[in-house]
Chains A and B, each alone.
Chain A
Amino acid sequence: MKKPKMDVDLILKAVAENTELTKVRVQKASEVLTDNLDVDLAKTPYETVYKEDRVRLKYYRPERIKYNYPLLVIYALINRETMLDLQPGRSVVQTFLEKGLEVYMIDWGYPTRKDRYITINDHVNGYIDNIVDFIRDKHNLPKINLMGICMGGAFSVMYSALHPEKINALVTTVTPTNFDTDKGLLHIWMKQLDMVKMAECYGNMPADLMNFGFLLLNPARLMLDKYVSFFENMDKKAFVENFVRMEKWIFDSPDIPFETFRQFITDCYQKNLLIKSKLTLDGKPVILKNITMPLINFFGKFDHLVPPEAANQLTKHVGSSDTEDVCLATGHIGIYVSSKFQKAFAPRIASWLQERDG
């Protein structure tokens, strides 16, 4: 039988070439890494117009205001809202400002052990309601537009159901509202693992643990391949800057207040009360049929954190007749930061709001 031939000389030649290339790359990379790198996030100027406990409200003013209703953006309690203003050319905030839309964005801050007793109700009927009233008073308006992202979207849904008279239009993006699905690993784990006990022994749900959990969702790509790709491209300044920006954002995570985390896991992930309109906040039921304002609901087809099955049920349960589902062929974060979807996402929202600007 003929023995398989291995071109050892070719392999050795390839190794030698690769070694030479690597040497050149490392030399260039050391110049790039020690150079002045532009890795700052959220460079769009804003003004802090409201403060309450650890919560801040940022105000972004466009050069020309073309909308009657300002937009309040509510980000999730996981990671930071700076993702919406990642860099020039990939900034949802910048796109809104270019369209003439006034943007308010909630900065949830960094909870400490002191905040462990703050509930979902405190966030929704406390901070968010106070901020909405502040904006309404400032602009002398009865209503404003509301946009929620991920868990912030869930809060926006709860708020709109409880205070529909204050909201002109609602935008939800990658928002989990139906938790009765096994499509995403997060949905499986949150039902079967006692994460509430874990959070309780730390006081709040620690950000580091959450980050580690997210990495475990795809260890091969997120813990290995990502950094292999970095080493292969670390001689390219633009790549390094983008990479470092994303790294800064992804690991900039606040803790989640324990009571909020407990209720979100128990009432949403485990009992799925939100989509059933059985969730209560401070005794008040959150009835989705009360959402009568226009609603546009974005979700990602390849979202492994909020799969389509978790996000696409909302429009079927609200009372509004003006609803729209938009499924984009991307993942959880790609919707905001992918250059491919910069034209499909934020401009779409801006034009949708323009049509409902009164």
Chain B
Amino acid sequence: MTQTEQEQAFNMNEWMQSAMNLWKKMTTSQQVDKDFFQSDASFTGSKKTDQFFSSAMNMMQLIMSSFFEPDNIDATLKKTDDIVSASIEILKQVTESVMDLQTQCIERCIRIGKETKAYSFDDMDREIFTTWKNIYEKEFQHFLQIPTIGLFRYYQERVNIAVDKYNLFSEALSEFMFMLYIPFEKTAQIYQKEIEKKLAEGELSNNFKDHYNQWIRILEGHFMSLLKSKEYTEVLSHTIQTYVAFKKAKEDVLIDILQQVPVPTNKEMDELYKEIYDLKQQVKHLAKTVRSLSSK
């Protein structure tokens, strides 16, 4: 480049210098008059807001002035590339994570699908509850068992435990209710066969009461068989255990909530009752001793 060309070439520094001066003049012209606050006039509507606006303008003027200093401009322009690169990198990471999560969800669904055969109801009676329980424990339960952090970690933990126990209890209760339904299903099947047999023999009664009595007798028999069975006792035991666990977890959460309300909790009252009970026992024992001594 010739000297003339160099002289005619766009001088960035001078341009920035003049731009800076322009901004300085603009910000200075916007600077609030020192005497402004002595008058009754208000720029924003209230004196306090005016003060805030004035501080903000002065701060902006300071930043703008230093920003447009030639040395600072150079550094900023150099760093702009870095900022853009960093933003692109962050976006890339986020997108990759979202895609990963999506992939995991799809894999989870595939695993769930493998546990149950599509449109196969042959073994779905009690197995569905075992299957659901396995799916829940393998795929969902660990989300509720993620360690909690922070100031309110214990409260969050107790809520997570309560939700987990509720899910387990729901499964157990559903299975128990299903168990109670089984005698109805079996009774319907057997009763239907009885009806067909009587119909074939021409002995079908027209009296509703006879049909009802027969139906209830069959139902009672099936219930007796069910109630004495080992499977029923196991399901009942499991239901009770999960219910007790859920109730305890629920009460822990309720106690946390009750801390905000000026009422004593069951736990606090139990401690009081125990003390009262022990004191009463001592008093009764002493009263008995005194009575026996005074009778002598």
Contact status B273-A216, CB under 8 Å: no
A195 contacts B by Cβ under 8 Å: yes
Contact status A194-B240, CB under 8 Å: yes
B212 contacts A by Cβ under 8 Å: yes
Residues 146-200 (chain B) with a chain A CB within 8 angstroms: 180, 183, 196, 199-200
Given contacts A4-B199, A14-B206, A185-B227, contact A220 B233 (CB under 8 A): no
Query: In the complex, what distance in Å separates the CA atom of A13 from the CA atom of B236?
Result: 45
Among A38-46, A147-155, A197-205, A235-243, the stretch that binds chain B is A197-205
B274 contacts A by Cβ under 8 Å: yes
B216 neighbours in A (Cβ, 8 Å): 220-221, 224-225, 228
Among A24-32, A68-76, A113-121, the stretch that binds chain B is A113-121
B269 contacts A by Cβ under 8 Å: yes
Question: B251 to nearest A CB, angstroms?
Answer: 8
B45 contacts A by Cβ under 8 Å: no
Residue of B nearest to A220 (CB): B220
Contact status B244-A197, CB under 8 Å: yes
Residues 231-257 (chain B) with a chain A CB within 8 angstroms: 233, 236-237, 240-241, 243-244, 247-248, 251
Residue of A nearest to B201 (CB): A4
Contact status A218-B243, CB under 8 Å: no
Contact status B244-A188, CB under 8 Å: no
Residue of B nearest to A6 (CB): B199
Residues 115-162 (chain A) with a chain B CB within 8 angstroms: 116-118, 126
Question: B115 to nearest A CB, angstroms?
Answer: 30
A219 neighbours in B (Cβ, 8 Å): 180, 223
Given contacts A4-B200, A201-B244, A220-B216, contact A18 B208 (CB under 8 A): yes
Contact status B273-A10, CB under 8 Å: no
B92 neighbours in A (Cβ, 8 Å): none
The residue from B200, B247, B274, B284 contacting A126, defined by CB atoms under 8 A apart: B284
B207 contacts A by Cβ under 8 Å: yes
Contact status B219-A220, CB under 8 Å: yes
Interface centre among B269, B276, B277 (most CB of A within 10 A): B277
Size class of A's contact patch?
Answer: 35 or more
The residue from B180, B224, B270 contacting A203, defined by CB atoms under 8 A apart: B270
Residues 160-202 (chain A) with a chain B CB within 8 angstroms: 185, 188-189, 192-195, 197-198, 201-202
The residue from B196, B200, B227, B247 contacting A201, defined by CB atoms under 8 A apart: B247
Question: A7 to nearest B CB, angstroms?
Answer: 7
B228 contacts A by Cβ under 8 Å: yes
A118 neighbours in B (Cβ, 8 Å): 277
A117 neighbours in B (Cβ, 8 Å): 273-274, 277
Query: In the complex, what distance in Å separates the CA atom of A83 from the CA atom of B2?
Result: 122
Residues 260-275 (chain B) with a chain A CB within 8 angstroms: 266, 269-270, 273-274
Question: B290 to nearest A CB, angstroms?
Answer: 15
Contact status A198-B270, CB under 8 Å: no
Given contacts A114-B273, A189-B233, contact A201 B248 (CB under 8 A): yes
Contact status A192-B233, CB under 8 Å: yes
Residue of A nearest to B196 (CB): A4
The residue from A10, A113, A126, A225 contacting B266, defined by CB atoms under 8 A apart: A113
Query: In the complex, what distance in Å separates the CA atom of A117 from the CA atom of B270?
Result: 9
A284 contacts B by Cβ under 8 Å: no
A217 contacts B by Cβ under 8 Å: yes
Residue of A nearest to B207 (CB): A14
Contact status A6-B204, CB under 8 Å: yes
1/0 contact string of B61-72 vs chain A (CB within 8 Å): 000000000000
B113 contacts A by Cβ under 8 Å: no
Query: In the complex, what distance in Å separates the CA atom of A192 from the CA atom of B235?
Result: 11
Contact status B266-A192, CB under 8 Å: no
The residue from B220, B236, B269, B284 contacting A218, defined by CB atoms under 8 A apart: B220
Interface centre among A4, A11, A18, A228 (most CB of B within 10 A): A4
Contact status A114-B206, CB under 8 Å: no
Can you list 29 residue pairs at the A/B interface with Cβ under 8 Å? A4-B199, A4-B200, A4-B202, A7-B204, A13-B206, A14-B206, A14-B208, A114-B276, A116-B273, A117-B274, A189-B236, A192-B233, A193-B237, A194-B241, A197-B240, A198-B240, A198-B243, A201-B247, A201-B248, A203-B270, A218-B224, A220-B216, A220-B219, A220-B220, A220-B223, A221-B216, A221-B220, A224-B216, A228-B212
Show the binding face of A for B, using Cβ within 8 Å. 4-7, 10-11, 13-15, 18, 113-114, 116-118, 126, 185, 188-189, 192-195, 197-198, 201-203, 216-221, 224-225, 228
